[in-house]
Structures are given as structure tokens and as C-alpha cells.
Amino acid sequence: MPEAVLVAGGAGYIGSHAAKLLHQRGFHPVVVDNLVCGHRSAARWGTFVEADLADRDQIQAVLLEHRIRAVMHFAAHAYVGESVRDPAKYYRNNVANTLSLLEAMQAVESDLFLFSSSCATYGEPREVPIAEDHPQSPINPYGRTKLVVEGMLRDFETAYGMRHVSLRYFNAAGADPDGELGEDHDPETHLIPLVLEVARGARPHIAVFGTDYPTPDGTCVRDYIHVSDLAEAHVLALEHLLAGGESRSYNLGNGAGYSVRQVIEGARRLTGHPIPALEARRRWGDPATLVGSSEKIRRELGWTPQLPGLDTILETAWRWENGKRRAAGPLGR
């Protein structure tokens, strides 16, 4: 019988790609999602259970019924700006609900956990590329919620022997190369989908948040990592824990930085659309440059991103974006 993996938030952007890959690799994904941000249509591999992580009894029942061997936890709110305006929402969902999930696991002696953490736990970098031993000093509530959970996992290991891998993503981007899944946030705030929405005529322009950063062209530099490569890292980390491996924290990025202007330029080349860009004020809480070193997971688990180039990331996202256009009609949404 295939090993069952609970995928919390498996109807969301990154979780759905992970569920698909788990299925392809012979695991049985059990997607648990409350569908507040996720989409039922994205949860089509394995079993789907509509449930809230706050409902500890139901989660415990799912863990037992499906003989869950490990948990991948993607369910979280992830808007930095919103986390500043409404931190309670973030501590409730990202911290309290994670605690509830961990307690459910503890109650049934389920002890392998893969956590979606973030480069936002580092805060303003002292040096780039950022390695895992860079001090973690988040500058917004979103990053702090992720850091609290990382600490919680270490304490749960010491006290209860629960092993974990925390995966600190840089900028997740792109879409399933088969075109079956992609980014679908509401509201959308991420650069790449917004730029492509301009290209397909669903928005008039893209605002460039800040052109006076200490970077080569004055706009923020980010390390974009393909969502399928993130999914692959989760499966490798799962196999590491299943083989008895120790708890770890790993960065997931390509180690290459692209500025906002470079992303827009790449999208213009790809789509042939002029993509009007308007210079706007800096967005609060954006570090100038975030680029990660992922040497540790490459060395220890053999992770090698298969879709590392910005052009490939844009191409897969564009295919997905066009699928949305077909669904919405010729004028977009």
C-alpha cells in the first residue's frame, strides 16, 4: 500500500503541486484544506478532505483513518502587508492552527513533519546570498509567524521526538509544466502573475514599487524558484525523514537574483506585449535584495532545480495565465 502523506493546504498554490508530485512518486496524498484560499479544483490527486486545522478532533481522525506517515504543511496566510495590518489573523492561522495540527499528530504519535517556511524569517539580509546560518530576524508579522513555528518544531523534537524539515522558500513562481496547476490568489499581489495579467489585458499596467533601491537598476532583486522545484524538494525531504534522517532547515532558491525591471522585460520578450510599467513608491517591508544559497540541500539531499531560468518560470506561468484567459473569455476577467 502506498504511504499516505497528509498535505495541509494541498488545494493551494504550492501544496497542490506537491500533492501532484507525491501521487506521481507513488505516495498517497491526503489533501486537507478549508478552501478559504485554496481551490477544490486544484486538489485532484489522492483523497480530499475539507477540514480546518483548528478542528483537532477531525484532523486526528484523518491521521488515523488514512494511516498518515508524514505531514506536509502548506496552509498559511502569506501576504506580508496584510500581516502588518492584521497580525491576529496571521498568528491565529499560521501559528495557532499549526500548533493544533502538531498536537493532533502528537496525540496519535505521528512524528514526521515538513514545514513551508520562508526567507521572510531572515529579515533584512546582512549579506547575500543568504545561507541557513544567517541570523533570523524577521521584519514583519508574516515572517515572525514562520519563525515561531520553526522554533516550535525544534521544541517538539526535543520533547516529543517529532522530526521535521523546515523549507525556507525564496520567491515561489511559475506553474505546473503540464498546465494543470498554477498560481491563483485572490487578491493577487505577486509580481509575476500581475505582470502576466497585464500582458493578457486583464490589468492596464504594472506598478514598480520603488526605483531607488541600492541595486543595479534601482528595483528590488529577488530569487525566483519554480514551484515544481519546490515540490521536488518536499519529496526529497520526505524521503530523508522516512529514511530516518535528522531534522533540518534548508533554503530553497536558485541563487540568482532578478530585478523587478528584469522580470517585466522578460515578460515583454515572452509575450510580445508592451506591458506598461508605472514607477510607484516603495512597498513597505520590501528588502532591496533577497537571494538565497541552497548549497546545503543540494549537497545533503541532492536537490537540483530542473526549471531554474527566469524564462522557463515565466513561460510556465504564461501558459497557466492563458488557460485562465480561455476560462474567462476573450476580455479576461
Name residue 172's beta-bridge partners: 225
Cα–Cα distance measured from residue 327 to residue 285, given in angstroms and rounded to the nearest whole number: 35
Q: Cβ neighbours of residue 295 under 8 Å, at least 6 residues apart?
A: 131
Closer to ligand UFG by Cβ: residue 208 or 241: 208
Cα–Cα distance measured from residue 276 to residue 199, given in angstroms and rounded to the nearest whole number: 9
For ligand UFG, which residue of 290, 297, 301, 310 counts as binding (CB under 6 A)? Answer: 290
Closer to ligand UFG by Cβ: residue 55 or 82: 82
> Cα–chain-centroid distance for residue 159?
28
Q: Interaction with ligand UFG in 202-261: which residues (CB under 6 A)?
A: 206-209, 220, 222, 260
Q: Confirm or reject binding of residue 72 to ligand UFG (CB under 6 A).
A: no
Closer to ligand UFG by Cβ: residue 208 or 237: 208
Q: Confirm or reject binding of residue 196 to ligand UFG (CB under 6 A).
A: no
Contact (Cβ atoms closer than 8 angstroms) between residue 22 and residue 30 = no
CB of 140 to ligand UFG, least distance (A): 9
Q: What is the CA radius of gyration of the chain?
A: 19
Burial of 240 (C-beta count, 10 Å sphere; 0-12/13-18/19+): buried
Catalytic residue among 13, 122, 142, 213: 142
For ligand UFG, which residue of 18, 68, 80, 153 counts as binding (CB under 6 A)? Answer: 80
142 classed as catalytic: yes
Q: Confirm or reject binding of residue 310 to ligand UFG (CB under 6 A).
A: no
Residue 25, SS3 per DSSP: coil
Q: Confirm or reject binding of residue 91 to ligand UFG (CB under 6 A).
A: no
Q: Confirm or reject binding of residue 190 to ligand UFG (CB under 6 A).
A: yes
Q: What is the DSSP string of 292-310?
A: B--HHHHHHH----SS-SH
Cell 478532533 belongs to which residue? 57
Closer to ligand UFG by Cβ: residue 221 or 307: 221
Cα–Cα distance measured from residue 68 to residue 2, given in angstroms and rounded to the nearest whole number: 10
Closer to ligand UFG by Cβ: residue 14 or 59: 14
Contacting positions for ligand UFG (CB under 6 A): 78-80, 118-120, 169, 171, 189-191, 194, 206-209, 220, 222, 260, 283, 286, 290
